[in-house]
A and B are shown apart, each in its own frame.
Chain A
């Protein structure tokens, strides 16, 4: 046992020295998370803010002005008032505005009769944005219409839909702020990258450079070899995790509603899964190029696309949903989003942790199975 620990320590120190001297592992382990979190955090936002919108009032009346005033002073819109539809269309064609909202000349009289109409034209090249703009505009205008109707004492006179108004409220992410759910997802991606991608490279590198051949003919066992890979990269992954947590808290002000202890426990678990995946890939392929490709295809890309990072898995086709549910990243994603935004929902947490433990055993088993002290 003492000899085991001594050898493990020697190999781990060697690994740490290599990490500290090899800029590429520091790059992937620490610099890349920072870059990713800045790019995704600031660059990728699914919200629409300051949408340029052309406002055409063919006959500017106090009523139409009032109804459209909801667009002013809102962080979602930056309205441009133009004189004619023609001018507005030009702006839309040049994509200086993303939408046109128009009131006809007889808007006031029609409003009084109870069937006034507003025209909304959207630039549909980015369909997601267009849909969002449509919803936001309707919501902004509807509020004003409602109060205008109330003031005019014309209840039920509107479109004849009755007086029931849907009062929406979003729980857990009250502001419907997409950074709040992107940042936890980002942590999943960074953990996958550090865990699977880095370890896939390092083990294969030892095979390629022939360093394992010399190492094998010594009292070293394969448990020591594998552990000496897991320990340093686990530490590196944890450092990346702390960076992400710091950024989430202080840069993006994402709340942490669950327990921090559960957060670290489940993250450690996922890191072990990712490390196991990387070690399994590289001990099977024994080639840096191949394991790099495989690691990207089976761990990184699915973590971005199929784990529910961007798209809700319930709204994707069945096959993609099944594949997504097989991925360990999906379970960790659910865990993190729950912990960050919803709090300690023990049902979800226990279920996902159990899945992660299963994966950890599976991948480590494969890695141990294929790392034999043999060259054939």
Chain B
């Protein structure tokens, strides 16, 4: 229905778009969730928001169904309605054959649900949390013993049963939440972004638990996720956007949408992957998406250019691409996701308006004011033997690295690796136990306030005032940075433009969708034009489209000479960095360009695998040392 919107000529008709799943699945007779014309409207004093528009969904039993979509697509609303926590505004919703609006309690007796923010009781221990949920679900003692030991074994929490949940790391908390959700075998399992904000290692473990349980008990699962690789593991994928279904089907059928559109382009001599990516992304007529991958940039053509292939990009004289060097590659779910979103937002001018619009037509060579290859830029961050201890616990152990002007430097590591501690020391929020630290020529811990204005910081959580409007927040923080009223007014206009916030000036910051909040945080961080920008997990919980736009902005900022330090859990994003550092247990495990790090990770094809390889081999070596010490 929605895809009947006028399409640009040449657009292929999406085969299984919207509800036409009957072509792929026979009409599911055993649908665990069945929605018909399901609507949900949220009413507040000022505005009415429609979260779901007349949704028709059948979720097949005995399989895993992924719910993907950008922020505000209605994923959480749908899951909450399936749990009977929200009542439908119109339409019907049957879960396990029960009407969700009347038989909520019967449904809740039979399903298990893990909300996005699972409410573990932080002052109860791991075991007490699990026991509470087992008691509530009435798990008999005989079954419980076996199940607990199995869950503890899978989650690796067996050694921590007495530890209060509040003192677990982020990844462990998430695993405990999953264990509490799985204390019994439900008729339907609903998981709302279970892996958000979790490092790749914990994420892999979480998925091992989920898939293990599904196979063992033939569970019906609905899982919402921002990771396309996770959706690819499910047998059915539903793409939601602004409360409507864009497409659904098996991952294979969805992937086939972008068959023949995906290519890789090698980097020419001395060119940064990020720069080539930006060049490609700035040609929205021909390129839908581009991501750096090691020594190549992977890009997806628009369906309009399917016939011409990469040649469509090589026509102009200053093109960094050569026709014969581009290789076709297999499509991924993420490509189709971008394609679907692109169709949906066509006509809405939702296409990223990248920062520094006027540089759009610039060739990469000209748009990069960074020094020519070989000439080293000045070092703006210098860290030598940095150590931070909390009591007897060493959070950061003799870490050394340096960052040059205009570099994008990635700080990676599992949860609890010491990233945040390192970060806070760099920003001057935490004193170092020993070692040298020099940011923009000074130690921010002891430097005058003036020096701090050369640094911008965007924290992991949304730390602006939720009950102030966008404009009020900008005015407030501009005042804090000491920008004069006239300069501030001009600067606010600039950042509103730059971060695509125009038109939302008077919206309450707390009510903005995730991607907008993140852009507002960035806008505030950039108000005073800092030389160095610190970003702590800026893309956590943000969908691929918003992430792409975010990185396009980072590229522009870095081209303008801003140095950027960023932490992330998305390993693919490490590819965008000029150089990166992998930490675990406070120690530096790898330091170098993405290519170098991948090489160190056993020449893994993806950064994620390289990361897991590096961290696991280091942990294995450490355990080995420890057992040797033990026996000695």
Interface residues of A (CB under 8 A from B): 3, 6-7, 9-11, 14, 17-18, 21-22, 206, 209-221, 373-376
Contact = CB atoms under 8 A, between A and B. Distances in A.
Contacts of A215: 119, 136
Contacts of B86: 374-376
B360 to A, nearest CB: 43
Contacts of A10: 131-132, 135-136
A7 B135 contact: yes
B108 A214 contact: no
Interface footprint category on B? 35 or more
Interface string B102-135: 0011001101111101111111100010011101
A21 B108 CA distance: 30
B138 interface: yes
Contacts of A212: 119
Interface stretch (B77-85, B391-399, B573-581): B77-85
21 contacts: A7-B135, A10-B132, A18-B121, A18-B123, A21-B124, A209-B122, A210-B119, A214-B114, A214-B115, A214-B177, A215-B119, A217-B112, A217-B113, A217-B190, A218-B109, A218-B133, A220-B136, A374-B86, A374-B87, A375-B86, A376-B42
Given A17-B128, A215-B136, A375 B80 contact: yes
A10 B83 CA distance: 22
Contacts of B190: 217
Contacts of B42: 376
A212 B108 CA distance: 13
A14 B117 contact: no
Interface in B133-168: 133, 135-138, 164
Given A217-B108, A374-B87, A376-B87, A210 B115 contact: yes
Contacts, number: 91
B121 A14 contact: yes
Contacts of A3: 138
A219 B124 contact: no
B105 A221 contact: yes
Nearest to B119: A211
Given A221-B105, A373-B85, A376-B87, A214 B119 contact: yes
Nearest to B109: A219
A7 B108 contact: no
B84 A373 contact: yes
Contact of A14 (B113, B114, B132, B164): B132
Contact of B180 (A7, A9, A214, A216): A214
Contacts of B109: 218-219
Question: What are the 7 tightest A-B residue pairs by CB atom distance, in nearest-first order?
Answer: A211-B119, A10-B135, A217-B113, A210-B119, A21-B123, A210-B117, A213-B115
B402 to A, nearest CB: 41
Contacts of A214: 113-115, 118-119, 133, 177, 180-181
Interface in B381-437: none
B80 A11 contact: no
Nearest to B180: A214
B135 A9 contact: yes
A212 B84 CA distance: 13
Interface string B163-187: 0100000000000010011000000
A347 B128 CA distance: 50
A213 B85 contact: yes
Contacts of B181: 214
Interface string B73-105: 000000010011111000000000000000011
B121 A219 contact: no
